[in-house]
A and B are shown apart, each in its own frame.
Chain A
Amino acid sequence: MEHEKQGFVSKYIFSFDHKMIGKQYFTLAMSMGFIGGILAVLIRLQLGFPSQPWPFLENLFPVGMASGIMTPEFYVSLFTMHGTIMVFFLLSLLPVSGFGNFLIPLQIGARDMAFPFLNMLSFWTVVPGAIIIIISFFVEGGAAASGWTAYPPLSAIRSAIPGSDLGQTLWLVGMIFFVASFTMGGLNFVVTILNLRTKGLRMMRMPLTTWAQFVVGILGLLSFPALAAGALLLTFDRSLGTSFFLPAGIFIGDTLMPHEGGTPLLWQHLFWFLGHPEVYIIMLPAMGFTSDILATFCRRPIFGYRSMVYAIWAIGTLSFLVWGHHMFVSGMSPFLGSLFVVTTLAIAIPSAVKAFNWLFTIARARIQFTSASLFGLGVVSLFVTGGLTGIFLGTNAVDIQLHDTYFVVGHFHFIMAGAGLFGAFGAVYYWYPKMFGRMLSERLGKIHFWITFVAYYAVFFPMHYLGVSGMMRRIYDPNVYEFLQPLQPVNLFITISAFVLFAGQLIFIYNYFVSMRRGVPATANPWNSAGLEWSAPAHPGHGNWEGEIPPAHRWPYDYSEPGKKRDFTPQWEA
């Protein structure tokens, strides 16, 4: 298969090459993640030092921090956009769109994705979405301020909060771009994996990363349209005077709203029908990366491959049946709540299977400690910590007290954000040589890991203490409440840890960009991995393999097979 010579524009901008598109997603996701991180620092600044003046910040945020003190409406915009940017533009784009595009063809032995043009289009659809989301900070009223969940009427009525004006409109437009892009990507994943696998690569020989991306593609296709529909209907409510989410009798700012007949609960159902699968869209790839990384650096086959595949399917399927656990105290029928308890806690079973399989992969191993394997081990630790707190929240009777408190914030920062982020970091350290033909600095990588791991626990574990003590989410100043005042030292501790956590990420960004040019040149298979992607040259060109595509003779986890000379047998060797 011949590929034409490419000019700058067709190579770096409107590229059809899945690897370049993957890298474009990396750049976009990391930029958005950096912004999301700054928002987190500002949120913690307010919670650690409530309403203290920081005069130098007035220059950066003349409205939101007039005279250096953060306004409540700016605070609400900050956590709304932090959630939106991190969930969609970092944690979905980096592991799914970024690594999915980069890895799927390499791992299944294909020259490219099934629809390269759609792939390019998908990237250039999400870019305007990201730009619109960022621009919304600079419009009158500021960015959207109804939480990343955008519950109406707050998000539907322009006078309900300053951010509900133009900021919310831009948020909705940005999300519709995002959904369009993500749906194209999902379709591409599913078609590619079903049709373009190399000779001998049966489904049950696929690496767990590809399995995860396959299920994620399906989840995205089935769930994101619900958000698109919801966002469109909400836009109609806001701009055309419809009443999908708005009942009669809403009275805001001395005005009786003309709406009638809708209900805010409808939005919650639509939003969480996406929102919960979305959690697994973020986590499943991280589980796949972790499995591949642990097998490689434990020099051991992944334990229970079959049950890992079944667990991915079980989690993916159940993820469509649990959205109501976000709505236990919403006014939804209590009977419906009970059903969602059963499906929610059922997810603990495949999750436990994964946790134990990882533990038994590490046991009887010969662990090599690289930045990638450290982050992989980190995922295992965070995943278990965050998974267990889910049992409290999934039990509706206990959720009554913990709902909308910092317990929830701690929970999802471990299980979704933490495991997702650590998985993505591990994956970057592991596959970087294939991405750029150079190695990342291991020394900086390890420093990055240690700061991130310790600071991550220091930031998010104490949030459970806050939640148990009753501290609500999304409050600008907890000290308004007497019963929350004794918690100020915990908040201060979290804030300082969060600053350290953020600073640690600068090391990663430095390492990532500097190693592109200065890193040690990589060999084709620097980690002695058995996966098919490592049969491609050190820095594969358009089309991935120069000659024939290698066939798959085995599964990708043949490490330390008895009676073999080397401690791994590559997938492409007979």
Chain B
Amino acid sequence: MADEPKGSRGSLQGIAMAVVIWAIVVLSSLYYVRYGVPELASDRGYLDTLYYVILGITGAAYILYQLALGYVIYRYRGDRPGAESSYWHESHKLELTWTIGTAAILIPIVFTGLIYWDRVKGPAPEDAVTVMAVGAQFQWDFHYPGADGEFGRFDPTLYAIDNQIGLDETDPAAADDWVLTNQLVIPVNRPTRILMRSKDVQHAIFLPNFRVKQDLVPGMTTEVWFTPVKTGSYEVACAELCGLGHYRMRAFLEVMEEADYRQWLSDNAPASVADATEPAAEAPSASAE
């Protein structure tokens, strides 16, 4: 075309576009490999497997598509000798291929995902250690049910400085209950079930190393369960915006060997294993009612 707009044909732009797209693909992929999910400490490794499978599939699609895009931009840039464009604009065969092809790749992902979701969301085993997480602006209180395994009733009118979870002490089930603030201690290789409720706004408990995240919703009790498989101290984060102190709503999760856990219980839990009369105030990081 003689009357083509100025500056529309530069070979430089086409070559540059191809090179930049290729460079982005290579660099972004190389750097991606350097960042993995946080060290796994629970039995939810199958979620990581699925993550890496999807990463493999979408990563391949990303690399192939962008390389192809760069290639067609380079190959069909306007100023190549004898350049001509084709009027060809329909192919049912091709269009059907990529429609069905995409579906064929997605279907196994969907089903695997649903099966794993079912496993994650299934009922907690009977022998699980059960704790109630109470989220508040901006702290976590972990309510242990004590030896009877039953949580004492809570009553919102009882919230106070020295009763952060609003526990009703007149309830017999509350007698051996006790609370840890910003610290959760659980035994390794035994399922842990965390029930949760919020005192004020929404929060979300996020255990990066355990592949656990669940919102705390006022007026509802939500729950998760998982099995820790590695001892150690891990960070617990709030993942749902809960106010100006959201960023510092942090707690620690200690996973101990079963024996150490029992020892820790008898050392710290005020009214736990046998002696319900022992005063709680002696426990360094625990508080009782």
Interface residues of A (CB under 8 A from B): 71-73, 76, 145-147, 151, 153-154, 157, 160-162, 246-252, 256, 262-265, 297-307, 329-331, 334, 337-338, 341-342, 345-346, 348-349, 352-353, 355-357, 359-370, 374, 377, 380-381, 384-385, 388-389, 391-392, 395-398, 400-401, 403-405, 442-443, 446, 450, 453-454, 457, 461-462, 464-466, 468-470, 472-478, 480-483, 526-528, 557, 559-562, 566-567
Contact = CB atoms under 8 A, between A and B. Distances in A.
A345 B1 contact: no
B76 A364 contact: yes
13 contacts: A157-B200, A250-B218, A298-B76, A331-B222, A346-B106, A352-B101, A381-B24, A388-B58, A470-B237, A475-B246, A478-B247, A528-B4, A560-B87
B232 interface: no
Contacts of A160: 137, 200-201, 243
Contacts of A567: 1, 85
Interface in B87-109: 87-91, 94-95, 98-99, 101-103, 106, 109
Interface in B123-182: 137, 156-157, 159, 166
A246 B226 CA distance: 30
A252 B200 contact: yes
Nearest to A487: B35
Contacts of B31: 462, 465
Given A161-B243, A561-B87, 12 more contacts: A298-B76, A307-B99, A331-B222, A374-B17, A384-B69, A391-B58, A397-B50, A397-B117, A400-B212, A472-B239, A560-B86, A562-B87
B28 to A, nearest CB: 5
Contacts of A385: 62, 66
Interface stretch (B5-13, B184-192, B258-266, B276-284): B5-13
B20 interface: yes
B85 A300 contact: yes
B37 A475 contact: no
| Nearest 10 CB-CB pairings of A with B | A247-B219, A369-B13, A249-B156, A301-B89, A395-B113, A470-B208, A397-B116, A465-B35, A368-B8, A334-B121
Contact of B217 (A265, A388, A398): A265
A149 B66 CA distance: 33
Interface residues of B, number: 106
Contacts of A361: 89
**Interface-central residue, A341, A401, A559, by most chain B CB under 10 Å:** A401
Given A355-B65, A398-B54, A249 B218 contact: yes
A162 B243 CA distance: 9
Given A151-B241, A368-B8, A476 B246 contact: yes
Contacts of A476: 244, 246-247
Contacts of B156: 248-251, 256
B12 to A, nearest CB: 8
Interface string B1-41: 10111111110011011001100100010011011111000
Contact of B110 (A342, A388, A400, A457): A342
A470 B121 CA distance: 21
A297 B85 CA distance: 11
Given A154-B242, A352-B102, A248 B219 contact: yes
A76 B244 contact: yes
A392 B37 CA distance: 13
Given A251-B200, A396-B117, A480-B248, A359 B68 contact: yes
Contact of B51 (A145, A146, A392, A480): A392
Given A151-B241, A385-B62, A474-B241, A256 B106 contact: no
Contacts of B103: 349
Contacts of A357: 95
Contacts of A364: 76, 85-86, 88
B214 A331 contact: yes
B246 A381 contact: no
A474 B109 CA distance: 30
Contacts of A298: 76, 85
A434 to B, nearest CB: 14
A450 B109 CA distance: 36
Given A349-B99, A356-B98, A377 B113 contact: no
A47 to B, nearest CB: 11
Contacts of B229: none
B89 A300 contact: yes
A349 B109 CA distance: 14
Contacts of A478: 247
B246 A368 contact: no
A482 B235 contact: yes
A455 B244 CA distance: 30
A403 B211 CA distance: 11
Contacts of A374: 13, 17
A355 B17 CA distance: 18
B89 A367 contact: no
Contact of B120 (A307, A397, A559): A397
A362 B244 contact: no
**Interface-central residue, A247, A367, A454, by most chain B CB under 10 Å:** A367
A528 B202 contact: no
A157 B9 contact: no
A302 B89 contact: yes
A369 B17 contact: yes
A264 B237 contact: no
Nearest to A300: B85
Contacts of A334: 117-118, 121
Contact of B35 (A251, A346, A453, A468): A468
A459 B199 CA distance: 37
B273 interface: no
B239 A362 contact: no
B102 A395 contact: no
A401 B213 contact: yes
Contact of A72 (B84, B89, B245): B245
A301 B88 CA distance: 8
Given A252-B137, A359-B68, A360-B94, A331 B58 contact: no
A313 B218 CA distance: 38
Contacts of A71: 244
A302 B21 CA distance: 22
A256 B154 CA distance: 14
Contacts of B8: 297, 368-370, 442
**Interface-central residue, A73, A154, A300, by most chain B CB under 10 Å:** A154
Given A352-B99, A462-B31, A377 B89 contact: no
B77 interface: yes
B78 A366 contact: yes
Given A160-B243, A453-B20, A392 B235 contact: no
Given A256-B156, A403-B213, A362 B69 contact: yes
Nearest to A388: B58
B289 interface: no
B132 to A, nearest CB: 14
Interface in B214-240: 214-215, 217-220, 222, 235, 237-240
Contacts of A251: 156, 159, 166, 199-200
A540 to B, nearest CB: 20
A366 B89 contact: no
Contact of B98 (A353, A388, A526): A353
Given A264-B217, A384-B62, A157 B201 contact: yes
A388 B84 contact: no
Contacts of A368: 4-5, 8-9, 78
A2 B13 CA distance: 46
A329 B220 contact: no
A476 B241 CA distance: 11
B246 A401 contact: no
Nearest to A334: B121
